[in-house]
Structure 1
């Protein structure tokens, strides 16, 4: 099911990206919305995916620019 809402509280926009963390490597990965909801990942709307900030020393990986079809 691809009609999932953004996971941010009070946000009602549809999710377009899935965020996962690799704590060991201090990395956040934002990719296209996953086909299946994963309880260990976070679905984000375009606004929240673009505004995501990570702690100092962490890296954000964006394999595909948001708003583009894969």
Structure 2
């Protein structure tokens, strides 16, 4: 257990993924939960990362780790 909750308001789900935005390049980076809290990142639970969609015209880069 990470003891970190989802960044979405009123969600108490366990965070599983960290999402960050690169505004200059219109890029969203989605990866495994960061080991430390990122000040400009969003920690999301599995339910919210499945529902995530990037702003129109933005690219999404997903980092996947081998399990």
TM superposition score normalised by structure 1: 0.85
| Residues in 2 aligned to 1:69 and 1:36: alpha-carbon distance in whole angstroms | 20
Q: Greater helix share, 1 or 2?
A: 2
Give the aligned partner of residue 39 of structure 2.
Answer: 39
| Aligned length, in residue pairs | 67
- Structure 2 gaps, min length 5: none
RMSD of aligned alpha carbons? 1.8
Q: Greater strand share, 1 or 2?
A: 2
- Structure 1 gaps, min length 5: none
1:12-51 deviation per Cα after TM superposition (whole angstroms, max 9, x unaligned): 1000000011001101111000000011111000111111
Runs of 4+ deviating beyond 4 Å: none
TM superposition score normalised by structure 2: 0.88
